[in-house]
Amino acid sequence: MEKIAFIGTGVMGKNMALHLLKAGHEVVVYTRTKEKAVPLINEGAKWAETLGEAASFADVVITMIGYPQDVKEVYLEENGILDHARPDTIVIDMTTSSPSLAREIHKAASEKRIYSLDAPVSGGDIGAREARLAIMVGGDKEAFDKALSVFERMGSNVVYQGEAGAGQHTKMCNQITIASNMVGVCEAIAYAEASGLNPETVLKSISAGAAGSWSLSNLAPRILDENFEPGFYVKHFIKDMGIALEEAEAIQLKLPGLELAKKLYEELKDAGEENSGTHALYKLWKN
């Protein structure tokens, strides 16, 4: 059974690594703040003092970290993962990051006979906890096949999407869809309230039909409860939308809906809501 290095043990990473431990994998963890790794160490994970130590130990290196800049650093800089991983290691970036960077890492990895996959996820903290993540994978099919059993410990909808970068591109499709939908959901609730309707009764009429969506069923009720705790952070969503817009610009694709959503989310961030959940977008209509 593969030895796994898990880099990044935030809300998502911690739960994902836990499933690997429970499945019987040897797991070594490394993260910037050791405290965050303690729950995993208590469950039997080993602690690596350096990134290099983690990378050289493993058959499979998984990263689940913050921003593309972090991903770039951890893989490509001196003493990074690619400097230390052994040939035939499979490195898997599960962070939502840039498709272009995924291709860059894949190229650098290939030159060292290391396999590289980009495999961002969807499903949030609940999906991570219940091992029901959607995992969208790009890279060599051979590496995907080898890593499939590892993915299946963490997700219930694992799909190979194509060459390096395709996983990240697919995640961008996911975020593009969500972005405009969230605008629609928030505008509908704002309209319901402003026109004197009872928004809860409105949801009874519209949630099950053609207006229905995951966001309407799961986030609209939280909006009505004024519960803006993050399932997914505003700041991370802005990062994702930024990546998608950059990629779209590079291929001269106009995405006016996504542009509008990003602009609205930036207003929300400027209003001090960057650590709220994405459904806090509704507050723009409330203030």
Distance CA 194, CA 171 (A): 34
Q: Which of 40, 172, 238, 268 binds a copy of itself (CB under 8 A)?
A: 172
Contact pick of 11, 76, 211, 224 for a copy of itself (by CB under 8 A): 211
Nearest-5° Cα angle at 157, 154 to 158 = 75
Return the range that interacts with a copy of itself (CB under 8 A); candidates 44-52, 59-67, 71-79, 167-175.
167-175
Which among 78, 59, 81 has a CA at the least distance from the CA of 8? Answer: 81
Options 3-11, 13-21, 108-116, 247-255: segment touching a copy of itself (CB under 8 A): 247-255
Residue 31 CB coordination number (10 Å): 23
For a copy of itself, the binding residues in 104-133 under the rule CB under 8 A are 122-124, 127
187 binds a copy of itself (CB under 8 A): yes
Q: How many residues bind a copy of itself (CB under 8 A)?
A: 69
Examine residue 188 and tell whether it contacts a copy of itself (CB under 8 A). yes
162 contacts a copy of itself (rule: CB under 8 A): yes
- Cα angle for residues 180, 204, 186 (degrees, 5° grid): 25
Q: Using alpha carbons, select from 214, 210, 203, 243 the residue that is nearest to residue 71.
A: 243
Chain positions contacting a copy of itself, by CB under 8 A: 99, 122-124, 127, 134, 136, 157, 159-162, 166, 169-170, 172-181, 183-185, 187-192, 194-198, 201-202, 204-206, 208-216, 218, 232, 244, 247-248, 251, 253-258, 260-261, 264, 285
